[in-house]
C-alpha cells in the first residue's frame, strides 16, 4: 500500500500530460504523437518527475499489441493474401537492402566490430509500427494505396525481428545459457502459429456465442482482452513477437460476426496504451547520453533518415508506386522502430556490444521517432501536384454483366443500388476511384474499377446485357460525356441519370434521357414534409403540399425548357396552399415519357400554368 500514492501521482502526471499536450500539438498541426513524446520528455528527463521510463515502456508496448490486433480485424485472410507481393517482395527488399547499406557504414567508421555492425544495421532498418500507423490513422490514409503498401512493409519488419533475434546467439562473444537448437526454435514457432490458426477457426466463434448469450458486456470485454493478450503471450513464449501474435489473432477473427464488437471493446484500451507508449519513449530518453555523444547523434539521425527514405522511395518506384506515393511512404518510414529497443537490449545482454552502446542506439532510435511527424510533414513540399493522378487498379471485369449497369458509386449510387439489390435485381457497378472500389468490394458489392467515359470499359462491364444504364456520376461534364457516348453507340439503351441541378436537368431532358432526378430534390421534399409534420401539420395535408410542390416544379421545368430558366416564377409558392390540394392532370390527356415519373410535356405545361396561377 505504501507505493499507491507514488503510482497515483505518476498516473496523474501521465494522464495530465496527455490531456494537455495532445490537443496543443494537434492544433499546431504537429500531430498527437509528437505531443505525447514532448510530454514524456518534459515529465521525465527535464523535470525528473518519473525516473522508471523503461519499465513504463515495457508495459506500454501493449498499446502496439492492441493496435496490431485492431488492424488484423480489418484484414481477412483473402485480403492479406492479395497483399503478399508487397509484404514479402517490397518489405523483404527494404529490410535486406537497408541493412546491407547501414552495416558497412557502421563498420567502416569504426563504431562497432562486424558482428555489432550487423545487428545494428539491420536493427535500424526496422521502422516504428506505432508511429507510422498512428500518423496514417490521423490522416485517414490507412486504406489508401500508399497506406496499404506502408503497412505491408511494417508487417514484414515485425516478422523480421524473429530471425534477427535468432542471429544474436550466433554473433555473441559468449554463448547464452540454456540455448536450444535453431531447428527446435523454428518448430516451436510453427507449432504456435498452427495452434493459433486452429483455435481461431474452430474455438473462438463458439466461445463468443456462449458468452454473448449471457448478455453481460463486461464478460465480452474481458474475453476480448483475454484473446489479445493470450495470443500475444503465446507467440512471445514461442520466440515470436507479441505484436505478431495479436495481429494473427485479429486476422483470424476478421470474418467473425463479432468483429465489430471486438473492435469497439478494444479501441479504448488501444488508444490509451498507445498514448502511454509514446510518452514512455519520451520518458526513456537519456539526456546524459545525448550530451556525451551529441555530435554522433547529430550525424547519425539525419543519415539514418536520409538512407532509409531514399531506399524506400527507390524500391517503391521500382515496384510500381507513383512519385507521390513513394515520397509519402519514404517519409513515413525513415525512423528506427520500437523493436530496435528489444533487439539492442538482447544484443547487449548477449555481449554483442556494451550497454552504453545499447543506450546510445536507443537514443538514436528515439530521436528519429520524435522527428517522424516533422519529417512526414515534408511530404506536402515534395509531392508534385501536377502529376497527382487518380489511383489506378487493374481493370478486371470477370463476372460483369447484369440487369443494371451503374456508373459511379458515390453516396447517390450507394443508396440507389441498395434499393435495386433489395428488389432482387443484379447490379454491376463501375467506378474510377480505387479507394471507393476497394471499400465497396469489402461490403460485397459487385464493383469494378474503370472509367465510364471509355467505350471499351462499358463493353467489358456488360453494357450489352444491361436493361438499364444508371449514370450516377457527380460531375456534370462526366455525366454528359457518358450520355452522349451511349446515345451515339447504343441509341436503344435506357438511360436513368443523376442530375446535379435545374440547369443540368434541362440539359438532360433536351438529350431525351429516359429518366433523370436531381440529387437533392426528393430528399429536400421529404425533409420539408417531415418538418411540417413536426410542427403539427397533419400527415395527409403535409403529403398533399409535397405533391403540389412536386407538380409545380415539374410544370416550371416544362416551361423553362421552352422559355428559359427565368420563366415560371409565378408557379412558386409565396403563400400557404388552399386546403383543397391541386388535382393532378389526367394521364389520358397527354402521356408522359415515363409511367413512373410525373413529367409534364411543354404543351401541357401552359394549361397547367394557367391553372396554377388561378389558385394563387
Q: Give the β-pairing of 468-471 and 495-499.
A: parallel
* CA distance linking residue 139 with residue 262, whole number of Å: 24
Q: Per-domain residue ranges for the chain?
A: 4-380, 391-506+515-519, 521-616
pLDDT at residue 127 greater than cutoff 60: yes
State the chain's maximal CA–CA distance in angstroms.
Answer: 104
Q: Give the β-pairing of 427-431 and 495-499.
A: unpaired
Per-residue pLDDT tens for 77-101?
A: 666 677 788 888 999 999 999 999 9
Cβ burial, residue 288 (10 Å; 0-12/13-18/19+): exposed
Please say whether the beta carbons of 239 and 165 come within 8 A.
yes
Compute how many other C-beta atoms are within 10 angstroms of the C-beta atom of residue 145: 21
pLDDT at position 587: 41
Per-residue pLDDT tens for 565-598?
A: 666 666 665 555 554 444 444 444 333 434 444 4
* CA distance linking residue 343 with residue 349, whole number of Å: 10
Q: What is the DSSP string of 515-543?
A: EEEETTHHHHHHHHHHHHHHTT--HHHHH
Least confident of 73-82, 156-165, 287-296, 313-322: 73-82
Region label for 476, one of left (φ > 0), alpha (ψ between -120 and 50) or beta (otherwise): alpha
CA angle 588, 594, 596 (to 5 degrees): 95
**Length of the chain counted residue by residue:** 616
pLDDT at position 1: 42
Compute how many other C-beta atoms are within 10 angstroms of the C-beta atom of residue 247: 29
Compute how many other C-beta atoms are within 10 angstroms of the C-beta atom of residue 340: 28
Q: Which of 7-16, 254-263, 327-336, 569-578 has the highest mean pLDDT?
A: 327-336
pLDDT at position 401: 67
Nearest 10 degrees: Cα torsion 360, 362, 368, 373: -150
pLDDT at position 205: 72
Task: Give the C-alpha distances (Å, rounded to integers) separating 5 from 39, 107, 284, 350, 575.
Answer: 21, 48, 22, 37, 71
Tell how far CA 362 is from the center of its chain: 31
Residues 6+ apart with CB under 8 A from 366: 281, 282, 284, 285, 336
Per-residue pLDDT tens for 404-458?
A: 899 988 888 888 888 888 888 888 888 877 777 777 776 767 788 778 888 878 8
pLDDT at residue 601 greater than cutoff 50: no
Per-residue pLDDT tens for 491-504?
A: 888 899 998 888 88
Please say whether the beta carbons of 448 and 474 come within 8 A.
no
Cα Rg of the chain, angstroms: 31
pLDDT at position 22: 80
Percentage of the chain lying above the pLDDT 90 cut: 11
* CATH match for 391-506+515-519 among 3.60.70.12, 3.40.50.720, 3.90.220.20, 3.20.20.70: 3.40.50.720
Q: What is the DSSP string of 104-152?
A: HHHHHTTSS-HHHHHHHHHHHT---HHHHHHHHHHTT-TTSHHHHHHHH
C-alpha cell at 137: 490513422
pLDDT at residue 131 greater than cutoff 70: yes
pLDDT at position 389: 43
pLDDT at position 93: 94
207 φ, ψ to 5°? -60, -45
* CA distance linking residue 531 with residue 537, whole number of Å: 9
pLDDT at residue 199 greater than cutoff 50: yes
C-alpha cell at 533: 409534420
Calculate the average pLDDT of the chain.
Answer: 77
CA angle 420, 423, 424 (to 5 degrees): 95
First to last CA, the chain: 83
Residue with cell 495470443: 231
Please enumerate, as own/partner, the contacts of 519-523 that have beta carbons within 8 Å and a separation of 24 or more.
519/412, 519/474, 521/553
pLDDT at position 474: 81
> CATH topology for 4-380?
Na+/H+ antiporter like fold (1.20.1530)
Q: Give the β-pairing of 404-407 and 468-471.
A: parallel
Least confident of 142-156, 229-243, 565-579: 565-579
- Residue that wins the pLDDT comparison between 74 and 478: 478
427 φ, ψ to 5°? -130, 125
pLDDT at residue 603 greater than cutoff 60: no
pLDDT at position 53: 63
Beta bridge partners of 470: 406, 496
Sorting pLDDT into bands at 50, 70 and 90, what band is 27?
A: confident
Sorting pLDDT into bands at 50, 70 and 90, what band is 331?
A: very high
- Residue that wins the pLDDT comparison between 581 and 250: 250
pLDDT at position 575: 55
404 φ, ψ to 5°? -120, 130
Per-residue pLDDT tens for 333-375?
A: 998 887 787 788 778 777 888 877 887 888 888 888 878 878 8
Per-residue pLDDT tens for 159-172?
A: 787 678 768 777 77
* CA distance linking residue 146 with residue 136, whole number of Å: 10
pLDDT at residue 104 greater than cutoff 90: yes
Percentage of the chain lying above the pLDDT 70 cut: 79
- Residue that wins the pLDDT comparison between 185 and 412: 412
Sorting pLDDT into bands at 50, 70 and 90, what band is 462?
A: confident
Tell me 465's DSSP state.
Answer: G
* CA distance linking residue 431 with residue 148, whole number of Å: 20
**pTM: predicted TM-score of the whole model, two decimal places:** 0.54
Sorting pLDDT into bands at 50, 70 and 90, what band is 546?
A: confident
pLDDT at position 385: 58
Cβ burial, residue 180 (10 Å; 0-12/13-18/19+): exposed
pLDDT at residue 63 greater than cutoff 80: no
Q: State which H helix or E strand residue 576 sits in.
A: none
Among candidate residues 352, 354, 344, 357, the one with its CA nearest the CA of residue 173: 352
- Residue that wins the pLDDT comparison between 538 and 139: 538
pLDDT at residue 175 greater than cutoff 50: no
* CA distance linking residue 275 with residue 264, whole number of Å: 18
Amino acid at each position: 500500500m505504501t507505493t499507491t500514492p507514488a503510482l497515483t501521482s505518476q498516473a496523474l502526471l501521465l494522464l495530465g500530460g496527455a490531456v494537455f499536450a495532445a490537443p496543443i500539438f494537434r492544433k499546431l498541426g504537429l500531430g498527437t504523437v509528437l505531443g505525447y513524446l514532448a510530454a514524456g520528455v518534459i515529465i521525465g528527463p527535464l523535470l525528473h518527475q518519473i525516473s522508471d521510463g523503461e519499465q513504463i515502456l515495457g508495459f506500454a508496448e501493449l498499446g502496439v499489441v492492441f493496435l496490431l490486433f485492431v488492424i488484423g480485424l480489418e484484414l481477412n485472410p483473402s485480403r492479406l493474401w492479395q497483399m503478399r507481393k508487397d509484404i514479402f517482395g517490397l518489405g523483404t527488399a527494404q529490410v535486406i537492402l537497408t541493412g546491407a547499406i547501414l552495416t558497412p557504414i557502421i563498420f567502416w567508421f569504426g563504431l562497432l566490430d562486424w558482428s555489432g555492425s550487423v545487428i545494428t544495421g539491420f536493427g535500424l532498418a526496422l521502422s516504428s509500427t506505432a508511429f507510422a500507423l498512428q500518423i496514417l490513422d490521423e490522416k485517414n490514409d490507412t486504406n489508401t494505396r500508399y497506406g496499404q503498401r506502408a503497412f505491408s512493409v511494417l508487417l514484414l519488419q515485425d516478422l523480421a525481428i524473429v530471425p534477427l533475434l535468432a542471429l544474436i546467439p550466433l554473433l555473441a562473444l559468449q554463448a547464452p545459457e540454456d540455448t536450444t537448437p535453431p531447428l527446435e526454435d523454428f518448430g516451436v514457432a510453427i507449432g504456435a502459429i498452427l495452434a493459433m490458426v486452429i483455435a481461431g477457426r474452430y474455438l473462438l466463434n463458439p466461445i463468443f456465442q456462449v458468452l454473448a448469450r449471457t448478455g453481460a458486456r463486461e464478460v465480452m470485454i474481458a474475453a476480448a482482452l483475454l484473446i489479445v493478450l493470450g495470443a500475444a503471450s503465446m507467440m512471445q513464449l514461442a520466440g515470436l513477437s507479441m505484436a505478431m501474435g495479436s495481429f494473427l489473432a485479429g486476422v483470424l477473427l476478421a470474418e467473425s460476426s463479432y468483429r465489430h464488437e471486438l473492435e469497439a471493446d478494444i479501441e479504448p484500451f488501444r488508444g490509451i496504451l498507445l498514448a502511454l507508449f509514446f510518452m514512455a519513449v519520451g520518458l526513456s530518453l537519456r539526456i546524459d547520453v545525448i550530451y556525451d555523444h551529441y555530435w554522433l547523434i547529430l550525424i547519425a539521425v539525419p543519415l539514418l533518415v536520409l538512407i532509409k527514405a531514399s531506399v524506400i522511395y527507390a524500391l517503391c518506384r521500382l515496384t510500381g508506386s507513383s512519385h507521390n506515393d513513394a515520397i509519402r511512404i519514404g517519409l513515413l518510414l525513415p525512423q528506427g522502430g520500437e523493436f530496435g529497443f528489444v533487439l539492442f537490449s538482447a544484443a547487449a545482454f548477449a555481449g554483442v556490444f556494451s550497454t552504453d552502446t545499447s543506450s546510445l542506439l536507443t537514443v538514436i532510435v528515439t530521436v528519429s521517432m520524435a522527428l517522424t511527424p516533422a519529417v512526414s510533414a515534408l511530404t506536402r513540399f515534395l509531392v508534385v501536384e501536377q502529376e497527382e493522378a487518380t489511383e489506378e487498379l487493374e481493370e478486371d471485369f470477370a463476372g460483369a454483366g447484369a440487369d443494371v449497369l451503374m456508373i459511379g458509386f458515390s453516396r447517390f449510387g450507394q443508396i440507389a443500388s441498395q434499393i435495386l439489390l433489395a428488389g432482387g435485381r443484379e447490379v454491376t457497378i463501375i467506378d474510377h476511384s480505387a479507394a471507393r472500389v476497394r471499400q465497396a468490394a469489402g461490403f460485397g458489392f459487385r464493383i469494378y474499377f474503370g472509367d465510364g467515359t471509355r467505350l471499351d470499359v462499358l463493353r467489358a462491364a456488360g453494357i450489352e446485357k444491361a436493361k438499364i444504364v444508371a449514370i450516377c456520376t457527380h460531375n456534370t461534364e462526366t455525366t454528359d460525356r457518358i450520355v452522349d457516348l451511349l446515345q451515339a453507340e447504343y441509341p436503344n439503351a435506357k438511360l436513368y441519370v443523376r442530375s446535379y441541378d435545374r440547369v443540368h436537368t434541362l440539359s438532360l431532358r433536351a438529350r431525351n434521357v429516359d429518366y433523370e432526378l436531381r440529387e437533392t430534390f426528393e430528399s429536400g421534399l421529404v425533409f420539408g414534409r417531415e418538418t411540417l409534420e413536426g410542427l403539427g401539420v397533419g400527415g395527409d395535408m403535409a403529403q398533399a403540399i409535397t405533391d403540389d410542390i412536386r407538380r409545380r416544379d415539374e410544370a416550371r421545368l416544362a416551361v423553362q425548357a421552352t422559355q428559359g430558366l427565368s420563366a415560371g416564377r409565378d408557379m412558386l409558392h409565396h403563400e400557404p396552399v388552399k386546403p383543397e390540394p391541386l388535382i393532378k392532370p389526367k394521364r389520358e390527356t397527354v402521356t408522359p415519357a415515363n409511367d413512373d415519373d410525373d413529367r409534364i410535356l411543354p404543351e401541357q405545361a401552359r394549361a397547367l400554368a394557367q391553372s396554377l396561377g388561378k389558385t394563387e
